[in-house]
Amino acid sequence: MTDILPYGSWPSPLSAEAVSAASPRLDGARFVGDEIWWGETVAEEAGRGAVRRRGADGIVDVLPAPWSARSRVHEYGGGSWTATDDGALVFVEKTDQRVWMVREGDSPVALTPEGADVRFGGLSWQRGRLLAVRETHDGSAVPPRAIVEIGLDGTVTALVGGSDFVAHPALSPDGSRLAWIAWDHPDMAWDRSELRIGRLEGSVVRSWTTITGGTSSPLQPTWTSDGELVYSDDPTGRWNLYRASADSPETAEPVAPADADTGAPLWVLGDRWYRVLDDGRIVAVRTHGSDEFVLLDPETGSLSVLPVPVAAGAVIEDARGGSVLVSGAGSVSPGGLWRIDVDSGEVEAVRVGEVPGGEEWMPRPRAIEVDGPHGPVHAFAYPPTHPSVSGPDDELPPYVVFVHGGPTAHVGGAASARIAYLTSRGIGVLDVNYGGSSGYGRAYRERLRGQWGVVDVDDVAAAARGLAAAGVADPARLAIAGGSAGGWTVLCALTRTDLFGAGISRYGVADLTRLAEDTHDFEARYLDGLVGPLPDAADVYRERSPLSRLEAFRSPVLILQGADDQVVPPSQSEAVRDALAANGVPHSYVLYEGEGHGFRRKESVVDAIEKEYAFLGAVFGFATPGVGPLALD
């Protein structure tokens, strides 16, 4: 029997605590000996970065507490650990950003010196050598980033620099040459970068050749066993794979080109979107909306789709023989890590998030496309989903429009415990890939160029209006929620449209000029492309910023902020809070101590989930079973 209850107030077994634990937050995975190791953020331990493996009695920590593997290179980190051939763990310790090594049964030993304001990331063990990206903050190195080799005796040798940013170092099979990705301000890596190759002379690259890039954005160079170079590049507008002789780059030829992306914006240093197997075949991610995995044979041109249960955020972590480790958000489970046998199709779950309450509570996403003022807009709609409750026939459900960050990030049609928390309570979710998002090619990504705060707002509004016009969502109960760059779009939408009755901003950008002054080096020139270069575009910065339109705030706002955020400092959120208070707009401001740009502590994540639900109930007038009311100022 189906019960009829008001949307938003349905009883649900998905608690905020269960949701916080449902999707493991992974940081890399490796085959180590006969085992599989992976990095994982442990919310119950204040967001500690653990490295783990499966033992006979379950999951075992390779890196015990209180040690925490986390890099802060570019602030977003990535590649915070790796392993040597003989099973030693090498990691970046969160507290001091030094590189340490530990063997089973021993205590960690530092490999890099103390005292210097230096960070390391993108660790990789290649052909018996430990490579990393080093970032210097004491002003002694200009530019401040270099690819280095770290000896197990504690020596650190700079192999190459010469540009503002470097990533993805790759040693040739004989160890004589190094390939890497480089780019300079004002570009971001996904705007323009270069794939370079240099010969190592006395452990240093003294000169190099640019293989490709300059007008495109190559990624992830990989050497084959016979010395050929494979890489991803987007001169056609899509990140596709290419292979070439390192000595004759003009021989480059595409490997099974497609209207899909093998690659994504290079925000973190550890991500990989393809792997070359020992026999020369390639396992690759392809993204157009959702992700799929394909097995390519460059010699025969054959292609097959692998049965991998990942639909979004797909990364190929490692490969050995015919096995690959892949991570991402699952199509029916919230996310995790799987081992795939590419020949048999066997899929083994290594570390997979649990579905709170069972799969029947997971909404099935529906890919939608609506016409917007700047072209088609892509999104995924998640309807209210409950096995035994429905809403009244004369009522439409409230919907929350999710706006991802980046703004070059991407969402796919994947299971999400965070989304199911809302849909199981009778609240629909619309997850929008607005113009500027990756996953649909360069042209879609560059729609936002110079138009941040315009195109993104128009696109999320078009998607929300389309859902309401189709009779799916209650137009009087539309909310918008997002973090970081997504929080910017939330605040812009609230001050530029009258469409949304409520807004949730998590550490959102509110003042472009202040962001340009306060933000860290990795994104110091990002706004040049998104808005325009300063000082020429100063008037645009002021006009676009929500804090320049204080009188336009009318809808209630929930603001969630990390006290230690170095990307979007609390001062931005506090300025919005003060503006809302001055305008008499109902609001709530929550500051989480010990949190940075994104929440990692269990108590913070749980509190944020519950406060968002209570906020929606307070604004849209429905009860919130199991969660206390939220008083708005």
Pairing relationship of beta strands 89-92 and 99-102 according to DSSP bridges? antiparallel
Q: What is the arithmetic mean of pLDDT over 389-406?
A: 95
pLDDT at 1: 64
83 beta partners: 89
Q: How far apart are CA 274 and CA 449, in angstroms?
A: 28
Q: Which two tokens stand for residue 201?
A: 């002379």
Q: What is the arithmetic mean of pLDDT over 245-270?
A: 92
pLDDT at 235 over 70: yes
pLDDT at 598 over 90: no
Residue 24: how many other CB atoms lie within 10 Å: 22
pLDDT at 419: 94
pLDDT at 226: 86
Q: How far apart are CA 504 and CA 487, in angstroms?
A: 7
pLDDT at 544: 95
Decide if 424 contacts 415 (C-beta within 8 A). Answer: no
Q: What is the pTM of this model?
A: 0.93
Residue 260: how many other CB atoms lie within 10 Å: 20
Residue 303: how many other CB atoms lie within 10 Å: 15
Provide the residue type at 550 as one letter: L
- Range scoring the smallest mean pLDDT among 39-43, 216-220, 567-571: 567-571
Q: Rounded to a whole number, what is the largest CA-CA distance in the chain?
A: 77
pLDDT at 556: 97
pLDDT at 607: 95
pLDDT at 21 over 80: no
Report pLDDT digits (tens) over 399-417. Answer: 999 999 989 999 998 888 8
pLDDT at 115 over 80: no
Decide if 414 contacts 366 (C-beta within 8 A). Answer: no
Read off φ and ψ for residue 452, nearest 5 degrees.
-65, 130
Share of the chain above pLDDT 90, in %: 78
Query: pLDDT band at 352, cuts 50/70/90?
Result: confident
pLDDT at 58: 82
Work out the mean pLDDT of the chain and round it to a whole number: 93
Report pLDDT digits (tens) over 291-330. Answer: 999 999 998 888 999 988 888 999 999 999 999 999 998 7
Report pLDDT digits (tens) over 142-199. Answer: 779 999 999 999 899 999 999 999 999 999 999 999 999 999 999 999 999 999 999 9
Q: Which two tokens stand for residue 496?
A: 């530029």
DSSP per-residue string spanning 74-130: TTT----EEE-TTS-EEEEBTTT--EEEE-TTS--EE-S-SSS-EEEEEEEEETTEE
- Range scoring the smallest mean pLDDT among 104-118, 161-175, 255-269: 104-118
- Burial status of residue 628 (CB atoms within 10 A of its CB: 0-12, 13-18, 19 or more): exposed
pLDDT at 305: 94
pLDDT at 542: 94
